[in-house]
Amino acid sequence: MTVVRHINHEVQDWDRLRNRLVDDRRERGLDQDRVAERAGFSSRTTLGRIERGESVPGIDSVIALARVYGLSVELATPLQRRVLSMSHEDLIGLLRRGGLA
């Protein structure tokens, strides 16, 4: 897989994941403050940045959010593993090409 195809695939996976998190939060009638508190975040700003695609959460945050929403951790961790295995330059390229940085 070329780097460009790899990056496009990662952006699509990331968009699907964060859209799922936003949809699940709204379906449950939860606001960002409540979810951030349940996930153990220091503020809702962290959750807002994740939901808007401005921040890629660490694996601990993904697991915490999955537990809050009652989602399978397997939904989130494949993307996290791929992102964690990317070089710094490829990750920056991913964020820029996805309009996230």
pLDDT tens across 1-55, in order?
A: 444 444 445 556 677 778 888 888 899 899 999 999 999 999 899 999 988 888 8
In terms of pTM, does the model score above 0.85?
A: no
Count the alpha carbons within 13 Å of 89 in the hemisphere toward its beta carbon. Answer: 2
CA angle 96, 91, 4 (to 5 degrees): 70
Give the number of domains in the chain: 1
**Predicted confidence (pLDDT) per residue in 12-25, tens digit:** 667 777 888 888 88
CATH number at residue 26: 1.10.260.40
With CA atoms as reference, report the closest residue to 43 among 55, 52, 35.
Answer: 35
> The tokens 């940045």 sit on which residue?
49
Region 57-86: what's the mean pLDDT? 72
Cα(68)–Cα(20) distance, integer angstroms: 13
Q: What domain range includes position 17?
A: 3-97
Residue 99 is predicted with a pLDDT of 46
